[in-house]
Amino acid sequence: LKALAPNPRNSILFSGFQAGGTRGADIVAGAHSVRLHGEDVPIRAQVHAMENLSAHADADEIMEWLRGFARPPRQTYVIHGEPHAADTLRRRISLELGWQVCVPEYQETVAIDPVR
């Protein structure tokens, strides 16, 4: 970004969701600059967001993957996604699979026991 974003002949292409509060979300929303490594970098490149692409599995794909486990984990943590979506997935895992599952709070620390 530091090398290419200032040039209006370049394009920045976002191929999925940009979470709120991130540089990506700021750029997609039309920010004129972003701070990188202590410097304000101007965004003069053309910005394009392809909302129909994502590198993440959706809830149905995640559930299908979880159903393939030979046995459930002792505890499952949903640590990705916006709070409402993470909690929705937590509830679904709990209801459909009967697993112990939680969404940790921001900066919460969890001690993980070694596999027995």
- Tokens 């794909």 correspond to 61
Q: pTM for the complete prediction?
A: 0.56
Per-residue pLDDT of the chain (116 residues; tens, 9 = 90+): 999 999 999 999 988 788 889 999 999 999 999 999 999 999 999 999 887 766 667 889 899 999 999 999 999 999 888 889 899 999 999 999 999 999 999 899 988 777 65
Where in the chain are the domains? 11-49, 59-102
Please list, in sequence order, all residues whose beta carbon lies within 8 angstroms of the beta carbon of residue 96, skipping any fewer than 6 positions away.
63
